[in-house]
Structure 1
Amino acid sequence: MRHRLIVPGAVAASLLLAVPASAAEPAPGAPGVGDPYYPDYGNGGYDVSHYDLRLKYQPKSDALEGTATLLATATQDLSRFNLDFALDVSEVRVAGKKAKFTTSGAHELEITPAKPLAKGEQATVVVRYRGTPSKVEVNGFTSWLRTPDGGVAANEPEAAWWWFPSNDHPTDKASYDVSVAVPDGTQAISNGTLQSQSSRAGWTRYNWRSRAPQATYLATLAVGKFDITRGKTDSGLPVINAYSKDLGEHTGAARASVERTAELTGWLEKYFGKYPFDAVGGYVPNTDTTYALETQTRPFYSPDDFADGSNTSVVVHELAHQWYGDSVSLKGWKDIWINEGFARYSQWLWSEDQGEGTARELADYAYASHPADDAFWKVEPGDPGAANQFHSAVYDRGAMAVQALREKVGDKDFFAILKGWPKQHAGGNANVGDFIAYAEKVSGTPLDSLFDTWLYQASKPGASAAGAAFADSAPKRPRSWKQIQTADHPVTGSR
């Protein structure tokens, strides 16, 4: 993840006089949800329940044009509201009427409807736009990945700004319809299930649908020339995988890994419960990136993930996120441990299953690999800071915290927690405190000391730390270690 300077957006505030609430004037929605890591991400004053995106994309020129229709509900009397977006807008309509609009900040589209929206009022917001996503930079970067035959939207914590206007924060999840027209011979890949495709006058339109609540950064789009495989899981879910036709030497290893998605989904269900969505798969475009991302129902993988051969570990990691991170999303970006600590731990469980090193052996090795004065221990996984959100400590120390929990409460309660948590908060949002409270409820064990030690102390836990005493001398490196680390490139790596 890039290191970047975050400049807080203006925080909307008003002082209401002592008059009845009904007499108060409508106020503008805030330009951010107030997330301390990214204050100007997301917006206040409304919730989106559905995105309908109708797009046309020309791979040769990277020209994108579209109409986004958002179904939104005002959460306050609303005189004005913002969307997060970076392309050029030609028209906005709210509740069928033309609305005034302007831009502010790095990625704010300010919309003033013809008539203020009342609290609880539902309205359609239609935005017409166009642009060249790869040429648009926000705060010095672009999340639109140009490929030799098209483009890809896949990044964290932001990707939507370059292809659709949104309320860009995980706390506002919605369903999606994504319809994309591309030149014949080119494919468009997105989340969920492919509802239909049709060709006319040299263009093919692909219609994708995501029914379950989905965070904006988990929405993905990939346009290019792909080999597409289709199948079903043992439970009958549709599986769609896609591979760029020009992956070259990475093709075999990528297919040998991602084609096991159905099998690995079933394996993860033993630990996490029923798969939470109505489709599954993965795609590997020809990008020069070095990370994978858990885009909902259809994870994104870089060719680099398979540079050393097949890599089921990275597939396990991204599929584990479908429960931990996608179905149950974070409340704030500081809660990233719930996503990454458990996705990493799923790789340790896979290693254990394959006889390539137990979770305890991997925890021992990770613990011993970093001496007490290593900067690794300065990062607190429970609140790592925006600059360290994807630091290796969030993954490895985060997984050590999960192993410490396992040893503290015992396997019976541990695996009950592992499976019960995604069910408890399915389709919603939760934070680290919510998880600790749930784990205490299931196990009947006080856990504050354990989680404070492993998640909130900027120092290496002692040899007899709460919950577990990991080996302080260097044990033999588990066979799976290298592949697990290959599946994660800290800071700019596997999400």
Structure 2
Amino acid sequence: MHIRRPAAAALSLSLVAALSIGCRGGEPVPAPAGPVPTAGAPSPSSAAPLVPDQGSVGDPYVPGDGNGGYDVRHYSLQLKITPADERRALDAVAVIKAHAQREMSEFNLDLAGLDVSRVEVDGRKADFLHQGEELTVRPSATIAGGGDFTVTVAYSGTPQPVDDPILGRYGWIRTPDGVAVACQPSGAHTWFPGNNHPSDKATFDLALTVPQHLTAISNGESGPKTVKNGMATTRWKVEQPMAPYLAMLAVGDFKVKEGVTPGGIPILVAVDASVRAPSVEDFYRVKAQITDEWVKLFGPYPFGSTGGVVDNADVSFALETQSRSIYGDFEPTQGIIAHELAHQWFGDSVSVTQWRDIWLNEGFASYAEWIWEERVGGRDVQTRFDDLYQRTPPTAWQVRTGDPGRQELFNGFAVYDRGAMTLHALRTKIGDDGFFSLLRRWAEDHEYGNATTDQFVALAESMSGQELSAFFQSWLYEQARPPR
């Protein structure tokens, strides 16, 4: 994810460090001051693991998100979207295929703010209770542990954005001509039921039905459009596992361009007709160019297509929604595009197991952004590292990159910049060949899965032949400027 920072903010590292950078569907807001973690706080190796229960996966950064007892394998979403209808913008049916990890007489799905009219489990009517953000389902027969089951949920209403006092506003955002949906970290349950945590990834197919004068775009690859009674339906298929928060959709009046990158990767981009810049041709060209360059650096592109959407949404962020990043109503720089494309490897294909390890997403993508800006004639990476190291005030170093706390989940310096600095310091320590081999191996070993900081440290030590625990402790967890 990338926030569009004002020029003034770039001159003030203390301001950058204070910005909470989340997918919030609105302007950036300062992160609450909150308590600074005490010195000597545990590193991931000593921190408590996730302990899921029926109604939560147990991640303290996103209380209540996710559910225990099952693993989703596939989501099939049939969504009729009427953006102009303020009372009932969405009529939908979700069919969820899952694997039971234990015997269950009931289970929970995450779903907020919508009206549920019917629930079935394996084709038989099920009782349900919808309270707050939890949909509790009681099937007519107990689900056996180790077995597969299918749950169908019919629901409707108008999804509302998430308004979080710490993380801000994000999710389902109305636009002048439609809707834009981007959901990091917890907005997926505002528009479809499921297991809303990145630790439970699944494949998706989506059938989007909208007024025929509008275009509907989602993740993955599309099939032919059909039109009936003034409504157009487009089907999208995501064949590689995807975290729920990375599911996106955009409905509006778009200029669309698709083809194949010079390196042979299918590409689709869209720019809302009301957006002044970029042009769809320029957006396509830059997306294709950077995708192919990252393949050379990070390894094979992990998904079936690449691309992006620039929508006329009044937001100042871009989000790495899988295979098709979404951008607000501003002209994204090449650096921002490079950042979101790097996330396709680091964040989308290799996803965090829990949110405290978010530097594995944002530090990696920020470092890729630095590399790209150096390649196109901007500041070289070492100069950027040196400037941040020397000019960042002591207070900014007090937020721990490897476990920043919920209040600092999207901290601009600690998570993004210090995360990138950690990688550059590692590159300096183990050499270019070893460093880029490590990144490619990381992307390969954890493709389509989830990973942790401990696993990255272990791989770095194994491949470099160096003992690196003190190095990572200093860069990721000490509340002071690390020694050089």
- TM-score if structure 1 supplies the norm length? 0.84
Seen in structure 2, the aligned counterparts of structure 1 residues 407 and 135 have a Cα distance that, compared at 3 Å, is closer
TM-superposed CA distance for 1:250, in Å, is: 3.0
TM-superposed CA distance for 1:83, in Å, is: 0.5
Q: Name the CA distance, whole Å, in 2 between partners of 1:4 and 1:49.
A: 37
Q: Name the CA distance, whole Å, in 2 between partners of 1:328 and 1:371.
A: 32
Q: Report the secondary structure of 1:303's partner residue.
A: coil
Match of 2:40 in 1: none
Q: Report the secondary structure of 1:179's partner residue.
A: strand
- Aligned pair 1:286/2:303, yes or no? no
Match of 1:37 in 2: 61
- Which residue among 80, 85, 110 is the counterpart of 2:136? 110
Seen in structure 2, the aligned counterparts of structure 1 residues 354 and 436 have a Cα distance that, compared at 3 Å, is same
Match of 1:99 in 2: 126
| Deviations, residues 395-448 of structure 1 (Å, cap 9, x unaligned) | 111111001100111111111101111001101000111100011111111111
Alignment of 1:43-82 (within 5 A): 43-62=67-86, 63-82=89-108
Q: Report the secondary structure of 1:128's partner residue.
A: strand
Over aligned residues, Cα RMSD in angstroms? Answer: 2.0
Q: Bigger radius of gyration, 1 or 2?
A: 1
Alignment of 1:93-492 (within 5 A): 93-104=120-131, 106-134=132-160, 143-247=171-275, 249-252=276-279, 256-257=282-283, 259-304=285-330, 306=331, 311-372=333-394, 375-392=395-412, 393-461=414-482, 465=483, 469=484
Is residue 160–residue 219 contact of structure 1 (8 Å, CA) maintained in 2?
Answer: yes
TM-superposed CA distance for 1:333, in Å, is: 0.3
Q: What is the one-letter code of the residue matched to 1:126?
A: T
Seen in structure 2, the aligned counterparts of structure 1 residues 385 and 207 have a Cα distance that, compared at 3 Å, is same
Q: Name the CA distance, whole Å, in 1 between partners of 2:391 and 2:423.
A: 18
Is residue 257–residue 311 contact of structure 1 (8 Å, CA) maintained in 2?
Answer: no
Q: Name the CA distance, whole Å, in 1 between partners of 2:32 and 2:145.
A: 36
Q: Report the secondary structure of 1:143's partner residue.
A: strand
Structure 2: gaps of 5 or more residues: 1-21, 25-30, 34-51
Q: Report the secondary structure of 1:32's partner residue.
A: coil
TM-superposed CA distance for 1:234, in Å, is: 2.5
Q: Name the CA distance, whole Å, in 2 between partners of 1:429 and 1:251.
A: 34
Q: What is the one-letter code of the residue matched to 1:460?
A: R
Is residue 234–residue 266 contact of structure 1 (8 Å, CA) maintained in 2?
Answer: yes
Is residue 161–residue 190 contact of structure 2 (8 Å, CA) maintained in 1?
Answer: no
Q: What is the one-letter code of the residue matched to 1:402?
A: L
Q: Report the secondary structure of 2:195's partner residue.
A: coil
TM-superposed CA distance for 1:142, in Å, is: 5.5
Provide the identity percentage.
Answer: 44
TM-superposed CA distance for 1:257, in Å, is: 4.1
Q: Report the secondary structure of 1:270's partner residue.
A: helix
TM-superposed CA distance for 1:29, in Å, is: 5.7
Is residue 257–residue 312 contact of structure 1 (8 Å, CA) maintained in 2?
Answer: no
Match of 1:14 in 2: none
Is residue 62–residue 186 contact of structure 2 (8 Å, CA) maintained in 1?
Answer: no
Q: What is the one-letter code of the residue matched to 2:61?
A: Y
Structure 1: gaps of 5 or more residues: 6-27, 470-495
Is residue 175–residue 313 contact of structure 2 (8 Å, CA) maintained in 1?
Answer: yes
Q: Report the secondary structure of 1:363's partner residue.
A: helix
Is residue 81–residue 208 contact of structure 2 (8 Å, CA) maintained in 1?
Answer: yes
Is residue 255–residue 270 contact of structure 2 (8 Å, CA) maintained in 1?
Answer: yes
- Which residue among 110, 116, 138 is the counterpart of 1:89? 116
| Deviations, residues 141-167 of structure 1 (Å, cap 9, x unaligned) | 552111011112102102211211010
